[in-house]
Structure 1
Amino acid sequence: MHAEEAFRKSEATLRLMVEQIPAIVWTTDTELRFTSCTGAGLTRLNLQPDQIVGMSLHDYYATQDEDFPGIASHRRACQGESVNFELEWCGHVFQSHAEPLRDAHGAVIGVVGVALDVTERKRAEEDLRRLNQTLEQQVDQRTKTLEAITTELRRSVQHSRLIVDMANEAFIGMDANGRIVDWNPAAEATFGWTRNEALGRALDQMIIPVRHRKTFHEGVREFFQTGESTLLNTRVEFSALHRDGQEFPVEMSATHILLGDEHSFNVFLHDIRERRESEQALRDSEALYSSLVEHLPVNILRKDLQGRFTFANRAFCELLDKPLEEIQGKTDMDFYPEELASKYQADDRRIIESGETFDDIERHKKGRKTLYVHVLKTPVHDAEGNIVGTQAIFWDVTDKQLAEEKMKRYSTELERSNRELEYFTTIVSHDLHAPLRAVGSYCELLEREYASKLDATAQEYLYFARQSVDRMHALIEDLRSVARVTTSGKPLKPVDCQEVLEAVLTNLTAEIEQSGAEVTHDVLPIVMADSTQLMQLLQNLVGNAIKYCKDGSPVIHVSADRDNGRWQIGVRDNGIGICTEDQKRIFEIFQRGHADEDEYSGTGVGLAVCKKIAERHGGRIWVESEPGQGSTFRFTVRGAK
């Protein structure tokens, strides 16, 4: 009789524990048909025990594959193995364990299994290994202790032990006197006490800080007086005590068990340090977000799917001249003219339906004044990615828009002016070249028809006249080159400087051979440039380096260096050099840097063209030089991405 009473109590205790723990416990026969199934975990699969009992594993898993983990593990268990396996099923991940189910004689009559839903949190493999090892030791110990009890009791105890020991949450069993009667491996890991150290000791002395012990005792006393307690059948958060004296937050869920006249309590505790840290991080993030949003000089608002305002920052509240409380729950129709409000609502519906971002500059009239507003609207998603509303950010860009429109007008006017300048320079060039050609022709005629009648002085005058004509022709073409920098420039695009330099050297082949010049260069970059103008710039600089070398052969080096995200191209020579006071003047039109201009030909336009080209490319040009020490001309240009 005592054994039967003990059996009933144990069975009731175990059944209550099984039904409260979020797990699934089942048994099968050797044909792999379910003979029982229970546990609160069934609700996560929307299943009832009577839907499963009698069904084969093959039908349940809808497969005949013997290697499928859910089937292979049971086959192994039928052969006497204890099997741990992980299974993904119905959108959940289960950590499962299968044991051979034996009769009183030790013969395998089926399989007993337990599965915990570890979708949200999986234990590490090493922790699982230690859990299984502890489980096996405790199962062996339980088996030896309960050998005299009936087969049904032994099966129930095994079910219970598996569930408790495999639980990720700390489980503590407590009797009516507050003494610990059970302590699972998760409790060992959570609180630092081994099972043997914990059993028999007062729960409050083990895990409850001194300042909370009075509340704990009052809760227990309240239960025994009234049958109810604020600590039971609910989730309670409090600070727990680790063996090392450190406190940490836990979430507790406790239930009462009454077997006969014996009271006991099952307590599950979950370490929520990570959750608290995440919550604090979220609060900090929200505070930072709120601070940023409230102080940004733009209007920010949010609406739900029905177009009702759920949030507005300070700038938007000031725009409407209303506090947030009077804006929340209202719609655009409450604040704007009907036509404008309808437009906003149509925009919101389009964003919600398409999930796309709306980015536009809207034009509004305010009295006689035209306002431009940059509007950026985006869908708002919840944690699952569902669209739950819209968010709008808008700000006044009237000044910017008017400036851009003014810039467009200036650009159009500049293009027109450039066309007129091109036309003008073409006409002027033609009109100037014509009389010069006539003068040149008469000079040739005089030289050919009257050379014998001209004395040395007249011959010299005639020579000077021809030289002046040639120089005027060159000057006219140079002036056209200056104009063409702005009127005939091509769009900037990636250009290989090395290829441009090779073309320049080809163009200057005669000058290089005649002077014996030596030209070297670094590895040159790819830059954003007008290739024709870049060639003109480099050809002017290299040509000058060849021209202005008084003694010996020219030695020229073209370099390339990084300069704050741009490229600095340099042309270094061993020429006559330039004095400091001339180094800025030489880039102005018709200015030359050498007193003896007759010794070196030129119009004083070439470096002015170089300056205009460098400036058109968004860069600058300068020279580093000392008289007699050579010169280095440098210009900057944007690199190609």
Structure 2
Amino acid sequence: MASTGDTPLYRDIFEVAPDPIIVHDAETGAVVRSNPAAAELLGFDREELVGTHVGAFSPPGYTTEDANRLIQEAVSDGSKTVEWAVRNSDGAQQWIEVTLERAEIDDESRVVAFFHDITDQKERNRARLERNEQLTTLIDNLPVVVFTIDSDGVFTHSAGKGLASLGLEPGELEGVSVFEAYADYPDVIEAVETALDGEEVRVTQDVGELVFETWYRPLFDDSELSQIVGVSRDITDLKRHEERVEALSDATNELLYSRSEGAVAETVTGIAKRIIERPFAAMWSYDESDDTLYPIGATGPATELADVDGPSSPETPLQTLLCLPLDDHGMLCIGSSKQEPFDSDERFLLEILASTAAAALDRVERETKLKAKQTELERSNEALQQFAYIASHDLQEPLRMVSSYVDLLESEYGDELDGEAAEYMAFAVDGANRMQEMVDALLRYSRVETQAGEFERTESDAVVSETLDSLRMRIDEVDATVSTGSFSAVRADPNQLGQVFQNLLENALDYTDEAGVDPRIEIDATEADGVVEFRITDNGPGIPDDKVEDIFEIFKRGGAHDTDGTGIGLAVCQRIVQRHDGRIWAEPSETGATFRFTIPAATEVATDE
């Protein structure tokens, strides 16, 4: 330090400096002068400090010889720095940095000691070190692998509990090239090379039997790659869980197509073995009649074991066994000849599987009963149709014979019969004709199913138009007015749909004409939710409320009418509509009849060109 001289300016600066300053004799180390801040820091009067040595006020364990040696080093080197821990006036520890500078003052060789309070800096450093230690402890205990790789692909750091799954200790990878350590894993090498090119990478990688999800993030220094920071998480268990859930989902789909108890058992035991990896998987069904379980399916080595009386049989060589109820259908068992406890994830998946299996068995039971009833119903319907056809067909010949013989009687003996006998013969002819009409109607009714056509896209407006054309003479005869709306296409047997329209329109024409009014008939339709609803309304006498159900029964007519009819037309309409999965009904009214029926709408099916 250059000489400043003992000028007034120097003395003023020295006196008012906020930091403590002490001037030592360079040869003896004794205090020559101190400013007020130094005296306050050390707890001395300024006069008491003059002539003393550092040992009088230095921290415990720091001797005068130690202080004088530092002073001499500062003389020889020009500067020296040391840190002290002292107690301030409040008794609290305070860290002081002492810088010793050689100086020439008033032509005397001196060593000036500058004191700086570094307590806050020390505290910050301590806190930073503590945080670093906490961070290091945290990283070392995370269930992941945290690593850094330099620009040459060499590991510079490795930590984390995840290393244990790889059989490594923290820091063991440091100094090892990733290209050498993982030469057998091309996915790892490719990811590192991509990161070294400056691109962030997130990838799932297989390392042996383990699966890791790894994030590689490149860091740059002045646009140059400095290192790669990576975090790798062992997701082997997670992937295994996903595979099990996927397998369970596949099993659920398979169970949708299982049509028997045995097929359900085969699917369920197979998936139970696959997702849990236990050699024993078997199902028993509960027989309520004799209160016993009997085997219905098993896999692998469990096939022979499934032949035992039940899953609790002492002859079954199992050390681990989990049995799950299938509601009231039976039991699903999974086990092993070794002690391998089931974890919570396995139990959860098996409980879902058992619940799904029970639902599948419920469905199979319902479908079996439904199929049996359907078969019985089809057999009954077939027998009834055959009976109706044979009965009506066989009645044709006797009716023809009655009509023929009555005609012969009239032609041979007609002149000899009186008026009453002629009337009786007319009754006989009329009865035979009506019987003929009823037999024909019964034949039509029986042929709704036996002589039906295939369902196809049918343009309703075309069917209505054709029906009106066929009824044109009758419409003109009664001077009827028929108005139509717009109609959507339906999926139907077009011939049978026309038959429904014809029967309903003929009824409307006949009954309105019988009522003595000019027939006005409206035909329209609406479409909603995939169904077309047709409506036919007339201005005839209507249908009483207590007759709206009866009129659809065979040979039933709604009230007394003079018009000819067998009472089977509406029954035929109902049977045709029901064949199309629709329904037909009449609305009660005293001022005109309204019939409604539904037919499924035609669905557009896209085709590849």
Task: State the TM-score, normalized to the length of structure 1.
Answer: 0.43
Structure possessing the higher radius of gyration over alpha carbons: 2
